[in-house]
Amino acid sequence: MSGSQDEIPPPPPPPPSSSQTPTLHDEIERISKESKYVSNESKTVDTVSNDAFEVTHELSKRIVELEKDLSKFEAKMQKENENFMASLQLENAHLKQTYKDLFESVQRSKVETNQCDEVKVKDNFDEIETKNIELEYQVASLIKDNDTREVDLQKLV
């Protein structure tokens, strides 16, 4: 709104009272002033209406732009989310395979350790059994030697 349109002239004076009889010239002047006043009011309303329309139109255009920007942003975020989820799924699959391989390796190591332990126990058992047989033979030999000496000792005595 421009400065001259902002100024609203005061309303026209009321018609003269019945004690004063208006002349035709006074009446025309009064009607002319009222007409100007109404015309100015109409221009003010038109100006406000036009300004409101322009503001509404600008706001509508801005809303459409914002909706487009929002739509683009949502699409971008959706794509980034999909890419991130895909990378997480790949990493998850890799980790699962890694832990599966580790688990299997540990299981194989346990089996190999158990097998090694069984072999060692068997070897130790065989060694102990062999030693036991040797000791039994030595004991039998010593007993036989002892018996022989006792016989020899009794002969001497």
pLDDT at 70 over 80: yes
Confidence of residue 1 (pLDDT cuts 50, 70, 90): very low
Q: Which carries the bigger pLDDT value, residue 14 or residue 47?
A: 47
pLDDT recorded at residue 31: 83
pLDDT recorded at residue 150: 84
> Which pTM does this prediction carry?
0.40
CA distances to 7, 33, 37, 58, 90 from 51, in Å: 16, 27, 21, 10, 58
